[in-house]
Amino acid sequence: MPGERLSIRDNAAVGRFHGVSASNGQAVPERHTESKTKKEESGCRCWFQKACPCCFRRQSSSYDVSGDVDGVAAGDGEKEEPTPLTPTGDTELDELTLAVRSVDLLSRKSDRNKAEHHTDQYNSDQLIIRRGQTFQIELDLSRPFNPNTDKLHLEMKTGPLPQVSKRTHIIIPLVDELQDESWEAKIVEQNVNRVRLSVNSPITAVIGKYKLTITTQYLKTGETTTHDHDKDIYMLFNPWCEDDMVYMEGEKELKEYVLNDTGRIYYGTEKQIGARTWNFGQFDEGILEACLFVLDNSEVPPSGRGDPVNVVRVVSAMINSPDDLGVLEGNWSGNYAGGMSPTAWSGSVEILRQYHREGGKPVKYGQCWVFSGVTTTVLRCLGIPTRSVTNFQSAHDTDVSLTTDVYFDENMEPIHHLNSDSVWNFHVWNDCWMARPDLPAGLGGWQAVDSTPQETSHGTFRCGPASLAAIRTGQVYLKFDTPFVFAEVNSDKIYWQRNLDGTFSQIHSEKKAVGHCISTKAVGSDERVDITNLYKYPEGSEEERIAVETACRYGSKPDVYSSPIAEDVRVEVRMEGEGPRMGGDAQLKIVVKNNSSQPRRTTLHSQVAVMYYTGVLKDTVKKDTLNVELNPQEEKILEWVLPYTQYQNQLVDQAALMMTLSGRVSETQQVLANQTSFRLRTPDLNIEPIGEAYVGKEMSAKITFTNPLPCTLRNVVIRVEGLGLRDLHPIKVGDVSKHANVTVTEHFVPTIAGKRKLVASLDCRQLTQVHGVADIDVQESQ
């Protein structure tokens, strides 16, 4: 109608219909009714062509000029020239089509997603979320969304070959109300063209890196558009969600076992427990990418990453490298040419970054505490509550007997080639927390996982997860690798002597020889907490004996407990205080006690050998024979000394030695046997922060060290690192003279506020396991 306001669609009428003005929209007097009608038809045809091009074929000309109206006489009898018409492009159709112009994943630290999903500590601008919990995104559309005429859905894909059937290609519909246990999205806010969506994921969602696509459709024309977002979305396990298999109750525990990026790892012997700080660094830049790269390098497809049992088993295999080019190459030889000495590492960050940066080439070198530290980093990064655990006097059962066997010949000399079972001074593995629906009820909770390559499990070097509840009760028939872990913590040590006919007889047993002082860092402090009670009942209790005998019935020597052995003479080794120090004579006490009412005589044979912490003996450094006579109920204490000169050139990494005692009581033929390991204590690095710490301002720390040895240390290197303080930095100190003091000053610029730890370790051929830590409280810049 003349004088009416034109709609967006009617803009194409300008210059084509009578009564339409391009200048002010006012009506022009009609001159010829017939020509107006025909021209209106032509304009309708043109618009229809544009609105539905598949139904109306375009003309080859740029302009739509209808022959029916060309040359029609105007009211004054003059012939009207053809009027140029608007190009028949898709302008009107584009204005009707709904398209996504941009996507905001709300992934900044200040956005609610990261705070609600407990992922705000990750040093990344990517969206990192936890499954089973809603997250929000914002879409900027080409026009307002109309639920009556528009459709919208999301797609998320993970892995190289996403498939709907494998739950790696997810189609997320738009719904009115979100339901639990399903992928869905709901509009929760709309402001003109901007739409905010709340997206829900199920608690069984596959973890990993997802690509996001948004598809929109205008129902009236069927026109569909897709928008592939250029940023990834990272999905993690959710220990805060009650329905997730890794759910853990208690904010203090979650803060410790998921969110704490530093920790303590214990080493040494049960009587000389040492501790070192380890930087897990699971939130550091690039570590999440590196952890997912570890999973990608395994043979397990992405579809298997929804089950934490499966993921933990994969990680256990991929942290070591013998059969799958995993993260770390183990080395217990003492020769670390071409790589880093295991004792020189103080954190996981550089290890994982190097593995990722070099495309999956194993990093050199690791031993058990390094394997455990990296495992803690990876599992905490993925959202599984995890801790590093140290077992002192840790058995390594090589024949599935579930006993630790020691063999002697006819003269009570050890038969070294048969003594393949060993007892490590200490061994470090991991506990991770999860439900175990694949096992009988009651066996969820802490699960033992060991990434150090010792024995194969189903053809691959890995171990666990093994339920601590199953280990404690001797249910070694339950998966995974429960027999091996049981033997590590609760096997009896059985001594065998070769008979003249070549057979062996059981001559002695130690029921409390392995699995002592099982240790982990306490929740909320740097104190050590003993968790031995989680792995076994109190030693000697009826429940503990039942568990041992139950387990051994499933081993390769089920009759080992058929004949109990009487004992009335006891022998043990004691040490004063924290034990002998590196660089001095080692002094121990051998205690022999007669518990009978009769006199007893015995000859004790002692030998001391240098030992790798794994229990493998290197060289014997001293042998003695001791004649002992005991009155009834008498206890004798024998002083024993190993001079420094006898061991100074023999020690290996952990400065550990093993004393083996054996003998026979003359009156009863009772066999006496005892093995005691001890280490020579090393000094600490002392770290003293200088001045106050502020973000972005340079500060210093003074590191001091005293050489305890009466010889020169060669090519000394001190490595310093601290999460939020500085990346790993080697300081070349050079040679350090005997008993000399060394002081170095390290300069660095803190980048993160809060309580941080600066860690340093010393590396040289003659002296290892020297390290230190300082707490630094970093303030925001003033």
- Confirm or deny that 81 is annotated as ligand binding: no
Q: Is 539 annotated as a binding residue?
A: yes
Q: Give CA 452 to chain center in angstroms.
A: 14
Query: Within 10 Å of residue 334's Cβ, how many Cβ atoms?
Result: 13
Burial per residue of 583-601, b for 16 or more beta-carbon CB atoms within 10 angstroms, e otherwise: beebebebebbbebeeebe
- Report helix angle 287-297 to 308-318, nearest 10: 90
Q: Are 234 and 126 in contact (CB under 8 A)?
A: yes
Q: Are strands 127-130 and 233-236 parallel, antiparallel or unpaired?
A: parallel
- Long-range interactions of 549-552: CB distance < 8 A, separation 24+: 549/474, 550/473, 550/474, 550/475, 550/476, 551/402, 551/474, 551/476, 551/483, 551/486, 551/490, 552/401, 552/402, 552/403
Task: Please report which helix (H) or strand (E) contains residue 486, including its range.
Answer: helix 482-490
472, 534 contact by CB (below 8 A): yes
Looking only at the bridges linking them, the beta strands covering 223-228 and 693-694 are unpaired
Cα–Cα distance measured from residue 39 to residue 699, given in angstroms and rounded to the nearest whole number: 82
Between the alpha carbon of residue 221 and those of residues 48, 97, 150, 174, 457, the distances in Å are: 11, 8, 10, 20, 59
The answer to whether the beta carbons of residues 136 and 149 sit under 8 Å apart is no
Helix (H, G, I), strand (E, B) or coil at 462: coil
Q: How many CB atoms lie within 10 A of CB 499?
A: 10
Contacts of residue 360, Cβ cutoff 8 Å, sequence gap at least 6: 293, 297, 325
Asked if 72 and 42 count as a contact pair (C-beta separation under 8 A), the reply is no
The continuous run of DSSP H or E covering 314 comes out as helix 308-318
Six-digit token string for 57: 């074929």
Residues 398/421, Cβ–Cβ less than 8 Å: yes
Give the contacts of 513 (CB within 8 A, at least 6 positions apart): 393, 395, 404, 423, 492, 493, 675
Nearest-angstrom CA–CA distance, 497 and 656 = 27
Distance CA 409, CA 604 (A): 16
Rounded to whole angstroms, how far apart are CA atoms 761 and 538? 37
- Is residue 179 classed as helix, strand or coil in its secondary structure? coil
DSSP-derived secondary structure for 103-135: EE---STTSHHHHHTT-TTSS-SSEEEETTS-E
| Preceding peptide of 365 cis, ω within 30° | yes
* Residue closest to 346 by CA, chosen among 644, 769, 761: 761
Residues with catalytic annotation?
A: 368, 427, 450
Q: Is 155 assigned to a binding site?
A: no
Among 336, 328, 369, 348, residue whose Cα is nearest residue 727: 348
The CA distances from residue 101 to 75, 149, 194, 284, 605, in Å, are 50, 19, 10, 32, 84
Determine if residue 70 is labeled as part of a ligand binding site. Answer: no
Residues at the binding site for Ca(2+) are 490, 492, 539, 544
Residues at the binding site are 490, 492, 539, 544
